[in-house]
Homo-oligomer: A and B are copies of this chain.
Amino acid sequence: MFPPLRVEPTYRKLSLAIETRILERTLRDGEPLPTEAELSTQFGVHRSTVREALRELESVGLVTRRRGTKRLVVTRPGAARIADTVGRALSLEDVTVLEVWESLHLVAPAAAANGARRRTAADLAAIEAAYHRFTDDSADTNRALIHMLAFFRAVTRTSGNRVLMLTLEPLLKLMEPTLAQMVAGVPQARTRITTAQRRILEALTARDSEAARTWMSRYLRDFRRGYELANISLDQRVAWRSSTR
């Protein structure tokens, strides 16, 4: 009895070979990939085959083309790409706003609580910057939203945990549309957001872990209230628009 042997097409073997090199750091971040022609001779396959392999690597973000450039360079799939991938998957699963909100409500307060202990002065400065950008420039909903997300990111960064940062990213992206609706539709939202952010900032400054957790939690609960006020159903599926990247 033999195990079912898998024959993988050449393009997959190629992309795997290159991926391996990247993962083992033989090909390093920022380094340009060899030419298609070169790869094709090195591997002894046709250029079309190489190109198919490259498309695979490109679409998972292991190689990218800098704007207006020809050569592919090795990259690490950044937060944006992950958010894209995960977001798309979640939206295809018909995940609801509630589920995303719950997850955010789980991650962010914990991150804040952690961060209260570890936060550095630089972290604090970043949060403060985001906070002020929000207070100073929140007339336009879109800009307000950008600053809100920045605040979340800055707070989460204090946790010093890159896994959390990465986890957060798709959540924010998925919340974005409804959040925008909410901010646009609820007059008092901006004030409440400002208050909550200030409290969180204060808690982090004071290294008060519990206060940080609590205020972040309240902040998010406020979102929920905002949703109700703006008549946004939490049971609706998350929106998703394919980003061109």
Q: Are B60 and A95 in touch, CB under 8 angstroms?
A: no
Size of interface on A: residues with Cβ below 8 Å to B: 57
Q: Which of A126-177 contact B (CB under 8 A)?
A: 161-164, 166-167, 171
Chain A residues within 8 Å of B, Cβ to Cβ: 4, 6, 8, 11-12, 15-16, 19-20, 22-23, 29, 48, 51-53, 55-62, 67, 76-77, 81-82, 85-86, 88-93, 95, 99-100, 102-103, 106-107, 110-111, 114, 161-164, 166-167, 171, 240, 242, 244
The answer to whether B106 touches A110, judged by C-beta atoms less than 8 angstroms apart, is: yes
Q: Which of B4, B23, B89 makes the CB contact (< 8 A) with A88?
A: B23
For A171, the chain B residues whose CB sits under 8 A away are: 163
Q: Is the interface of A mostly helix, strand, loop or mixed?
A: helix
Is B242 touching A16 in the complex (CB atoms < 8 A)? yes
Q: Which residues of B contact A22 (CB under 8 A)?
A: 92
Residues from chain B with a CB closer than 8 A to the CB of A82 are: 85-86, 89
Q: Which residues of chain B are near A15, meaning CB under 8 Å? A: 59
**A161 with B240: CB separation less than 8 A:** no
